[in-house]
Chain A
Amino acid sequence: AQSVTQPDIHITVSEGASLELRCNYSYGATPYLFWYVQSPGQGLQLLLKYFSGDTLVQGIKGFEAEFKRSQSSFNLRKPSVHWSDAAEYFCAVSKAAGNKLTFGGGTRVLVKP
């Protein structure tokens, strides 16, 4: 069965500083990987996705993620955080893009002025 672990429950970062959110997955075959962001009281917005090809993927809002098969990881990064990036971030995996998503527990990001 597939599973996703996000080791950091909370991360606090200063505005303008860089951000990295960790995601480790467990899945036997090549996974389809996603990062979603959820603002308080809102639904999930897709930031980026990896299906195949270049292991460094670019997303919206200046985010990028790198797929590392050897480490079973798909970490999310942003070079310079804005106050509006304060939200909860979820990593998810599926066996195909349209199939069920298995989510991690999420990482809540707080941005200090």
Chain B
Amino acid sequence: ETGVTQSPTHLIKTRGQQVTLRCSSQSGHNTVSWYQQALGQGPQFIFQYYREEENGRGNFPPRFSGLQFPNYSSELNVNALELDDSALYLCASSSLAGLWSDQETQYFGPGTRLLVL
């Protein structure tokens, strides 16, 4: 069984730039969720993608956007980077048999650490 992988592991950008983070979901999973974890805090939900559609969004501005591909991998894009975007970005995959499934658990990748200067 292949676990959740994320790339790159580390990234340094400057304020105003754009960044793309990537996530490959665990084999057999069709749902990807993204979280932002600032230093010393718990992760915060950004959004979730199920079968290539956004399936819920947290309190993040529109400059945070995402994609999910037919193979269920996903991208997180952040435009106009701000200093406060510096954080560990975590991807989690799960498998929703249907929108009302309640038997699936989210498994996390190792994260991408983004530093905005």
Give A contacts to B, CB under 8 Å: 4, 32, 34, 36, 41-46, 49, 51, 90, 92, 96-106
A98-B104, A98-B106, A100-B58 given as contacts; is B45 within 8 A of A43 (CB)?
Answer: no
Q: A43-B4, A101-B43, A101-B45 are in contact. List 14 more A-B contacts (CB 8 A).
A: A43-B90, A43-B109, A43-B110, A44-B92, A46-B105, A46-B107, A51-B102, A96-B100, A96-B101, A98-B94, A100-B45, A100-B56, A101-B33, A102-B45
Q: How many residues of B contact A (CB 8 A)?
A: 31
Instruction: Tell me the complex Cα distance, A100–B94, Å.
Output: 11
Collect the chain A residues with CB atoms within 8 Å of residue B33's CB.
100-101
Residue B61 lies at the interface, judged by CB distance under 8 Å to chain A:
no
Interchain CB contact under 8 A, B109 and A98? no
Q: Across the two chains, which residue of chain B brings its CB closest to A94? A: B106
> Is B42 an interface position by the 8 A CB rule?
yes
Q: Residue B72 at the A interface, CB < 8 A? A: no
Q: Residue B65 at the A interface, CB < 8 A? A: no
Known: A36-B108, A43-B108, A46-B107. A96 touches B45 (CB 8 A): no
Q: Quick check: A49 and B41 within 8 Å, CB to CB?
A: no
Contacts of A103 in B (CB 8 A): 42-44
Please give, as numbers and ranges, the residues of chain B lying within 8 Å of A106 by CB-CB distance: 41-42
Closest 3 CB pairs of A and B: A103-B42, A100-B45, A44-B108
CA distance A105 to B44 in the complex (A): 10
A17 to B113, CA, bound (A): 34
Min Cβ gap A27→B in Å is: 15
- From residue 76 to 117 of chain B, which have CB atoms closer than 8 A to chain A? 90, 92, 94-96, 100-111, 113
